[in-house]
């Protein structure tokens, strides 16, 4: 199931293992094309275009492409969180804080039930 998800929902990212910003490796992984040949094409295009448009486009791509996630993304919820994190870290941190606040409230409710006098009397009565 996870392999199917990863194959059908592939996204274009800059690779963390690339030589210079990971753009060529990211494009190669996205298109399943040899990274070597992509680099050859980029170098050849650089020399044939007059040495400035291709490097400018390359650095622009490096700025616009999101960096590859550290861990593999397995579902749409993880993809949405990673997209929100790369778009706005403050928004992603607020999402995480809200999730932990909800968890904290649940734990507090459980603690209040377990430590209440009624719970203690019921526990003693049942034992």
User: pTM for the full model?
Assistant: 0.56
Give tens-digit pLDDT for 65-99: 888 877 777 888 887 777 777 777 777 788 889 98
Angle between helices 23-31 and 53-64 (to 10 degrees): 70
Contacts 24+ apart (CB under 8 A), 9-18: 9/73, 9/76, 9/79, 11/66, 11/79, 12/65, 13/65, 13/66, 13/67, 13/68, 13/69, 14/62, 14/65, 14/66, 14/67, 14/68, 15/68, 16/67, 16/68, 16/70
pLDDT in tens, the chain (127 residues): 445 445 445 778 889 888 899 999 999 999 999 999 999 999 999 999 888 899 999 999 999 888 887 777 788 888 777 777 777 777 778 888 998 999 999 999 988 887 777 766 777 777 7
Which residues does 61 contact at the CB level (< 8 Å), separation at least 6?
A: 23
């Amino acid at each position: 199931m996870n392999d199917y998800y990863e194959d059908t929902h592939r996204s274009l990212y800059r690779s963390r293992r690339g030589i210079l910003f990971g753009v060529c490796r990211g494009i190669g992984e996205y298109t399943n094309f040899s990274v070597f040949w992509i680099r050859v094409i980029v170098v050849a295009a650089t020399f044939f275009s007059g040495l400035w448009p291709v490097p400018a486009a390359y650095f622009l791509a490096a700025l616009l492409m999101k960096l590859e996630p550290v861990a593999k993304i397995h579902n749409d919820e993880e993809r949405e969180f990673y997209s929100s994190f790369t778009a706005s870290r403050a928004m992603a941190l607020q999402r995480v804080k809200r999730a932990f606040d909800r968890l904290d409230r649940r734990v507090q409710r459980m603690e209040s039930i377990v430590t209440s006098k009624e719970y203690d009397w019921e526990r003693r009565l049942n034992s």
